[in-house]
Amino acid sequence: MVTTADQPDTRAVILAKARELFLVQGYHKTSMRGIAQAAGISTGPLYFHFQNKAEVFFHICCEAFDMLLADFRREAAGEEHAGWRLRNMYQAYQEFYYREPQLFEIMHLPADPSAGIDLPEKLQHTLKQKSLEMVQIMVLVIREGVSRSELRPVDPRKLALYLHSVAEGVFLSNRTGMFELCGVSLEEMITTAIELIGLGMIDRRSMTPDGDQ
């Protein structure tokens, strides 16, 4: 029987083992029984924590988004030039990619048509809202940067969507093997993206000759 004391640990083990199964076997071949076996528990404790497989998958995605959102909020809260804070968000995205590769892959599966993951509409909506929150954090930084003449007078929402799209595109290209095929590393592409975007959006009048604020 699962006690109150061991519930948090049991839940964490379930999610950790489930995300491995989802990546190795795929969503549809992973079963609740298989998750229970991988976690070293019976199906009883598993159903105590989660109603079904979709809910398990949903909570893994939420864990990924919440970790990345925490990184974004931390960088957005800094006092640096708005351009540097946006750059730091890109780097936080990169660090998350390397720190939590399983979570990074899983959080993108619901939006991948080839994965065939059809979560209930309510769960899909929640994940879309978390993705939107990443964009909204950038919107606030851009809006502040424009008001302080650190960034060019652009539409904050459009620029944030552009930056988000570029980031997603960079990592998608890396996952498909395009960079390796062209002999370019992910780090080089991120650096290039940051440099090119920075040149276009930063108001140079806000910079000193040595490149600092």
d(Cα 199, Cα 194) in Å, to the nearest integer? Answer: 9
Q: Which long-range contacts (CB under 8 A, 24 or more apart) does 105-112 make?
A: 105/23, 105/175, 106/19, 106/22, 106/23, 106/57, 106/60, 106/61, 106/64, 107/61, 107/64, 107/65, 107/68, 109/22, 109/27, 109/61, 110/61
Query: 15 and 103: one domain?
Result: no
Query: 72 and 167: one domain?
Result: yes
Query: 92 and 190: one domain?
Result: yes
**What pLDDT is attached to residue 211?**
46
DSSP string, 61-109: HHHHHHHHHHHHHHHHTS-S-HHHHHHHHHHHHHHHHHH-HHHHHHHHG
pLDDT digits (tens, 9 = 90+) for 131-153: 999 999 999 999 999 999 988 89
**What pLDDT is attached to residue 23?**
92
**Is 137 within a domain?**
yes
Containing domain of residue 146, as a range?
A: 58-206
Query: 42 and 104: one domain?
Result: no
**Is 11 within a domain?**
yes
**What pLDDT is attached to residue 199?**
54
Query: 199 and 128: one domain?
Result: yes
Query: 6 and 74: one domain?
Result: no
Mean pLDDT rounded to a whole number for the chain: 87
**Is 212 within a domain?**
no
Strands (E), 7-58: none
Query: 68 and 173: one domain?
Result: yes
Taking 80 as the threshold, does the pLDDT of residue 205 lie above it? Answer: no
CATH number at residue 76: 1.10.357.10
Query: 26 and 106: one domain?
Result: no
Taking 50 as the threshold, does the pLDDT of residue 75 lie above it? Answer: yes
Query: 64 and 160: one domain?
Result: yes
Query: Rounded mean pLDDT of 107-120?
Result: 86
**Is 211 within a domain?**
no
Query: 122 and 43: one domain?
Result: no
CATH number at residue 11: 1.10.10.60
Query: 109 and 31: one domain?
Result: no
**Is 109 within a domain?**
yes
Taking 90 as the threshold, does the pLDDT of residue 71 lie above it? Answer: yes
Q: How is residue 47 written in tokens?
A: 């159903």
Taking 80 as the threshold, does the pLDDT of residue 194 lie above it? Answer: no
Query: Rounded mean pLDDT of 78-89?
Result: 89
- Domain total of the chain: 2
**What pLDDT is attached to residue 32?**
96
**What pLDDT is attached to residue 116?**
83
Query: 110 and 46: one domain?
Result: no
Residue 35 near residue 56, CB atoms below 8 Å: yes
- How would residue 197 be classed by pLDDT, with cut points 50, 70 and 90? low
- How would residue 4 be classed by pLDDT, with cut points 50, 70 and 90? very low
